[in-house]
Structure 1
């Protein structure tokens, strides 16, 4: 199965050990648990992973959300570089639920869009929530971003981390009590136990590893939806920050942001990020794909040598002002670059700053959107007896000038 050939086993998972409930440290690595409010009378916890360079990542059990990532700039000044809120009320407010930007969340069962919320598998037809009219997006109204995940503190000899678990029941992805036109009837098939492990090391690598199984044939496409602003959360737009993508091709979309099925060359278009480009330099060009997305909201096809299935560099994002650099590597076939086009100023982040269009960007490592409806795309089918494994590594560093 092609989806498994894209997967990379999480290193040393068999040797993961449970940590005590209190903060534990080894070699400058530590984890701290604090409260983060409650959802439906269920407590939400925040776990903060830290290393000896004072890099930290905070994860909350609601949605498995990456709530804060603090890294130094070229002068050693720390800042949170991911969009989010300082307490659970931000993630459950009416304004957030209405706009639903998925800040930092684990996305499932299916990251990105499925056309008209419909797909066929083994001769059976399945229907999903239409929550991004006319399509299904990120698992529907009750996706993984809305679930309370069970958490266990973990470590290896060189990392500290957090293991999150959630079992997705058969039929998830179809909330019949909510308006969906046409109405959904089945949801995703199969019961799917999912494990997501965040780990941090002293080399400033934050790794996200995903594992899942199923008791019936299904489709699965997991990712994380963090929004990045390397100048600091709430500091303004990301248009002057520079992006490089390891991709010669992308998947063009129609006006509803569903791939047409073709793999188009980036050469000669504003989709060409093979060399660093400022994100805002071409975003207002009269290029049909940018018109459809109101900016960048597309999947790039990552370059690979031969049939390699391991980690490959997917993206490098850098901020000339602060010197901060984020390098993303993954075993997935694609990456969705979304330039925050639908942030509309109704949300105020962790520092009380307004989030407007372009104030953050998402880089979602993934299989291609709408893959269940495109036989020429890498398969997202998972069958009983198979194990879904995939990993993405976020490397933080600093440039002192270029």
Structure 2
């Protein structure tokens, strides 16, 4: 049987493992995509295995996904049974935090792993699970190249003024900086703009990655200039369960006046706030849009207000605006949210075409809008697969194995 070289991409979350399989005999082509969710609880497997095979959606036994290692073993059993001629020569991983030094994808070595673990306090909700995914893959594929792709890397060339906090200077040297996140998504969208709208790509673009995690990025000539997220993936916009921007004095109040521990405060900020906390109903925008109650409407109002406010700030950082691009689950699918963000924004050059918006067209601005409004579905997996293929072809990759 002929062996087909493939790349496996993994995105390990706190209770989930997203995966994709790519044929890398040429330009990476997706063969399968899926998800194991509710790891350690009541796990469920979903997978699209291409046109030739039926989709998978089934409950798993608890022992089949008791942790990320078990979940990966379940995924591999599915993929090996579905694609017996495929051999994963490289595994690409999404890693949320790359710190000040990782500005591009890296081959995972013991030294790189040590640095990723050192960065865990910078992204306490995400980084340990990313590391668990890498460790599980290294055990499952001891001969495969492991490649880490960082959400922070796209933002590592910010001007110094957009990279610092107004803290004593020694904290910057300790790594306390504005990093920005969702970089794999922004890299993909920027690359798509270069392909489909090169004049827009060369100009001043704000990309709004709106989903359960949400942020915005000001991009000038394809390079990140400013981001709404900062030191952690907690700052900026309100998200599904994360608070976004908040006065640090709130932390002092909760600790000193309410007697809460730092762990309790962290749990509130990361898992009980955002759309869920404001509404008291759900972190799912679809549920909030259909709820029709004041609490849901107030949560949506705040979400939209913060996006509009950040849009103005990013346009100022860019020196103007040539395009606003929506991506992410909410950005790609919620016509109502896009409309509310863009309405009455002609002062910044945005004029929404409501018919195009309702049809989820790629360009949803009017023909007379000074700045273009677009919807570009993101694809973080292909960014990881491209990086994995590129690094696996480099001579130094063989030395790292």
**TM-score of the aligned structures, taking structure 1 as reference length:** 0.23
Larger relative contact order, structure 1 or 2 (CA cutoff 8 Å, min sep 6): 1
Structure ranking higher in helix proportion: 2
TM-score (norm 2): 0.23
Determine which structure has the larger strand proportion and give its number.
Answer: 1
Q: Which has the larger radius of gyration?
A: 2
